[in-house]
Amino acid sequence: MHKLELLLGLSNIFLNNLDENPLYKIVQHLKDYVKSDVCSIYLLDKYNRNELILKATAGLKEEAVDRVRLNIKKGLVGLTYLDNNYLFINNATEHPDFHYFPGIGEEPFKTFIGVPLKTNIHTFGVLVFQFKNNKKDTHSLRKLLETASAQVLSLILKYYQDENNIEKANAKKEIILRGIPLSEGIAIGNPTHIVYNYIEQAHITSVDNELNLFDNSLEKTKNEIYELINRYKDKKIDIQIFNSHIAILEDSSFITKIKEHIKKLKKTAAISTILITKEYVDKFNALDDPYIKERVYDLYDISQRLLANLGALSKNIKLRDNSIIISDKITPGELASFNIDKISGFITEKDGLTSHTAIIARSIGIPSITGINNIIKQTENAETIIIDGYLGLIIINPQKETMNLYKEKIQFYKDIEVDKRNAIKIKTDSSINLYANISSLLDAEKAQDSGADGIGLFRTEMFYLQRNGIFDIKENSNFYRRVLNATKTNYFIFRLLDIGADKKSINDSNESNPAMGLRGSRYLLHNRILLIKQIEAFTTLDNTYNFSLLIPFIADIDEFIKIKNIIINEYTKKNLKIPLIGAMVEIPSLIFSLDELQKVADFFSIGTNDLFQYTFAVDRTNPFVSSLYKPTNDTFLKIMEYIYKKLSKTGKHIDICGEVAADRTTLEKLINIGYKNFSVNPYVLKKLKSYF
């Protein structure tokens, strides 16, 4: 049994059988090489992720293919899938997990070998070998079968990807894609693509019109760049960059591709420009060549110019009703500019459970799915989309039966939700305050509507980040004033700009590990002019407003003291009353300095989103580790108890301002510890109020 021969055989099967299902040949080939009596492939059902389906077999009855479905919690196949490891069992029929499937020719086989078909991230199914006689469990057999399973998986993935592409070519066919669920719920809605700050919502009326618009924009863009070349050519400024922009605009393949996209797919000039640019950017980024990677910036610049000349870079984005947002990644700034009430679901290429998108999706109770590659391209022809946040599925252009099924499901979940809300009340002896975490005027209005007891956290960075790194004191203080007026409350906490990690402006430098880099208080101390500008914006607010200031992301008391002194200095210079200044407790190191912190901070706000992220090393934006985000976990609750014991002695105000309190079970546990003040997303407030 030569490993190389086995692998070559597998590759040949695939190369020579592109037109037909190669799975049958794969199992036959493996059975012959391994000299087993049965070789089968079980794959996870696309639609029901609790079931494995027999997709190919050599040795069992052929009629069993597609008919045999096994619950993942049953049998030795299920055991291999759940355990996600190579499983070798002799005398398999005596194993407590053995499950006999009648009528498929499953003789009493002695040896069972299950090998998960897995990548680092997902397990797609199980490769099974069965032998009539007991075999010897050797290291070399195990290595051989594990290598074979990796090879088989890559062939399977390629095969299904091709199958998907064929489906995709058929524009109106129902297509189902699977991703990673971030927020539960089901929605049926209108696809709205967001790429590079641009939103595509409409279908075009005339292809010729779009081609003309594109040609005009191309001419304007070239003229603009020629003008720049003329302006700078004698001024010792390197104009090479502009020459390379012209070269791209005159590169017939780039421009022709955009025009073809408009013609073939009947799409607007704007979205065609964006999608073709993205295609190039992705290709360039994939190459390990720093020179080519630099060209990504050129392409991005050019596409922004083309879009501006198409009049497509609108800042005041108006979403249509029932929008399902589809994006490669939604930035917090973009999110803050949407009217959330118009959104029914989010689909992103990459995001994590505690990313702002996911937090908001969960708190408003709308589904959100991530982890689908090329999501923009895959949904280009979608007219309606169903998003199933329970199973992590998106269904493009659903057929009538699917629509009906999902309408029933929506009703079913609605009924359960009502029952749940009526049944459970949280018992508490003390009065609980439910404040809102807000970022925009719309959030402020929502907080007011939902009866928030105050604003526990105003994320001021969202407004700033939408302005591409420019802080205009007047503009910001006017915005703050409007938000204060909209909330009409005496309990209002402004958080100083918490920039960094996933909340960066395009001007910020690329750090190799931004979550550990310049963020929050560190960023402010590094950019003091910006910090002072923001304090000035606060000082220009009317004296009649009652608000406090909160300093984010503190790892060391010194950072707090330095910023506090700058605030005091600015207020004293103007002879103004200094607001209360609080500290965010969200970096684990600070937990061990609470005795010192309480001497200098007026109040405390525990940022549980980050506290969890930094304590458990779980990136809040990474979907692959989302399942590790469990705030009901004992260790986390012990930390919360420790903090409460330390801080409650001070008699100073303590808020919990992360989203953990939006979950009923966690909220109850935190109340049992003694916490009384919670600040959550305004979209979840009504639901939380119904728990008391």
Residue 512 CB partners (closer than 8 Å, separation 6+): none
Is residue 607 a contact point for ligand PEP (CB under 6 A)?
yes
Near Mg ion by CB under 5 A, which window of 557-565, 578-586, 597-605, 645-653?
578-586
Q: Would you give the DSSP letter of residue 577?
A: P
658 binds, among ligand PEP, Mg ion, none (CB under 5 to 8 A by kind): ligand PEP
CA dist., res. 386 & res. 371, Å (int):
16
The candidate with the shortest Cα–Cα distance to 147, out of 33, 51, 22, 264, is 33
Tell me whether residue 152 or residue 335 sits nearer to ligand PEP (CB atom): 335
CA distances in angstroms from 448 to 254, 398, 538, listed in the order given: 50, 38, 22
User: Would you tell me how many other CB atoms lie within 10 Å of the CB of residue 445?
Assistant: 15
Number of residues this chain uses to bind Mg ion (CB under 5 A): 3
Tokens of 63: 């009629």
SS3 104: coil
Residues 438-457 that bind ligand PEP (CB under 6 A): 457
Is residue 191 a contact point for Mg ion (CB under 5 A)?
no
459 binds, among Mg ion, ligand PEP, none (CB under 5 to 8 A by kind): ligand PEP
Tell me whether residue 388 or residue 461 sits nearer to Mg ion (CB atom): 461
In the complex, the smallest distance separating the C-beta of residue 607 from Mg ion, rounded to whole angstroms, is: 4
In the complex, the smallest distance separating the C-beta of residue 637 from ligand PEP, rounded to whole angstroms, is: 16
Tell me whether residue 145 or residue 457 sits nearer to ligand PEP (CB atom): 457
One-letter identity of residue 189 = G
Q: Would you give the DSSP letter of residue 287?
A: S
Near Mg ion by CB under 5 A, which window of 2-10, 199-207, 456-464, 605-613?
605-613
Tell me whether residue 177 or residue 551 sits nearer to Mg ion (CB atom): 551
Q: Would you give the DSSP letter of residue 343?
A: E
The candidate with the shortest Cα–Cα distance to 623, out of 251, 121, 64, is 121
Is residue 658 a contact point for ligand PEP (CB under 6 A)?
yes
User: Would you tell me how many other CB atoms lie within 10 Å of the CB of residue 196?
Assistant: 17
In the complex, the smallest distance separating the C-beta of residue 184 from ligand PEP, rounded to whole angstroms, is: 20
Is residue 607 a contact point for Mg ion (CB under 5 A)?
yes
In the complex, the smallest distance separating the C-beta of residue 120 from ligand PEP, rounded to whole angstroms, is: 28
End-to-end Cα spacing for the chain: 68
Number of residues this chain uses to bind ligand PEP (CB under 6 A): 10
Tell me whether residue 380 or residue 498 sits nearer to ligand PEP (CB atom): 498
Tell me whether residue 570 or residue 659 sits nearer to ligand PEP (CB atom): 659
**Which of 608, 622, 626, 666 lies at the binding interface for ligand PEP (CB under 6 A)?**
608
In the complex, the smallest distance separating the C-beta of residue 681 from Mg ion, rounded to whole angstroms, is: 14
Tell me whether residue 457 or residue 647 sits nearer to Mg ion (CB atom): 457
C-alpha R_g of the chain = 29
**Which of 334, 586, 655, 663 lies at the binding interface for ligand PEP (CB under 6 A)?**
586
In the complex, the smallest distance separating the C-beta of residue 620 from ligand PEP, rounded to whole angstroms, is: 8
Is residue 352 a contact point for Mg ion (CB under 5 A)?
no
Tell me whether residue 26 or residue 584 sits nearer to ligand PEP (CB atom): 584
Residues 610-649 that bind Mg ion (CB under 5 A): 610
Near Mg ion by CB under 5 A, which window of 227-235, 358-366, 489-497, 580-588?
580-588
Residues 92-111 that bind ligand PEP (CB under 6 A): none
Near ligand PEP by CB under 6 A, which window of 316-324, 482-490, 606-614, 646-654?
606-614
Q: Which long-range contacts (CB under 8 A, 24 or more apart) does 166-175 make?
A: 168/378, 168/381, 171/381, 171/397, 172/381, 172/383, 172/397, 173/397, 174/395, 174/396, 174/397, 174/398, 174/399, 174/402, 175/378, 175/395, 175/396, 175/397
The residues facing 388 across adjacent strands are: 186, 393
Which of 146-168 are b and which e, b meaning 16 or more Cβ less than 10 Å from the residue's Cβ?
A: bebbebbbebbeebeeeeeeeeb
Binding mask 480-509 for ligand PEP (x = CB under 6 A): ------------------x-----------
Tell me whether residue 310 or residue 585 sits nearer to Mg ion (CB atom): 585
In the complex, the smallest distance separating the C-beta of residue 544 from ligand PEP, rounded to whole angstroms, is: 28
Tokens of 260: 């073809």
User: Would you tell me how many other CB atoms lie within 10 Å of the CB of residue 345?
Assistant: 27
CA dist., res. 17 & res. 494, Å (int):
63
Residue 502 CB partners (closer than 8 Å, separation 6+): 332, 355, 356, 514, 515, 620, 621
Is residue 657 a contact point for ligand PEP (CB under 6 A)?
yes
Tell me whether residue 59 or residue 520 sits nearer to Mg ion (CB atom): 520
**Which of 106, 349, 388, 610 lies at the binding interface for ligand PEP (CB under 6 A)?**
610
CA dist., res. 683 & res. 185, Å (int):
15
504 binds, among ligand PEP, Mg ion, none (CB under 5 to 8 A by kind): none
Tell me whether residue 149 or residue 439 sits nearer to ligand PEP (CB atom): 439
Near Mg ion by CB under 5 A, which window of 169-177, 285-293, 600-608, 632-640?
600-608
Near Mg ion by CB under 5 A, which window of 98-106, 110-118, 470-478, 579-587?
579-587
SS3 524: helix
Near ligand PEP by CB under 6 A, which window of 33-41, 161-169, 253-261, 602-610?
602-610
In the complex, the smallest distance separating the C-beta of residue 316 from ligand PEP, rounded to whole angstroms, is: 24
Residue 182 CB partners (closer than 8 Å, separation 6+): 346, 351, 352, 353, 355, 357, 358, 361, 362, 368, 369, 370, 389, 623, 626
SS3 271: helix
Tell me whether residue 564 or residue 620 sits nearer to Mg ion (CB atom): 620
Instruction: Phi first, then psi: give them for residue 437, nearest 5 degrees.
Output: -95, 120
E-strand stretches of 184-288: 186-195, 198-200
In the complex, the smallest distance separating the C-beta of residue 609 from Mg ion, rounded to whole angstroms, is: 5
CA dist., res. 488 & res. 481, Å (int):
11
389 binds, among ligand PEP, Mg ion, none (CB under 5 to 8 A by kind): none
Is residue 461 a contact point for Mg ion (CB under 5 A)?
no
59 binds, among Mg ion, ligand PEP, none (CB under 5 to 8 A by kind): none
Run of H or E including 643: helix 634-648
Backbone φ/ψ region at 204: left (φ over 0), alpha (ψ -120 to 50), beta: beta
Tell me whether residue 85 or residue 635 sits nearer to ligand PEP (CB atom): 635
In the complex, the smallest distance separating the C-beta of residue 553 from ligand PEP, rounded to whole angstroms, is: 8
657 binds, among ligand PEP, Mg ion, none (CB under 5 to 8 A by kind): ligand PEP
Q: Which residues bind ligand PEP (CB under 6 A)?
A: 457, 459, 498, 586, 607-610, 657-658
Q: Which residues bind Mg ion (CB under 5 A)?
A: 586, 607, 610
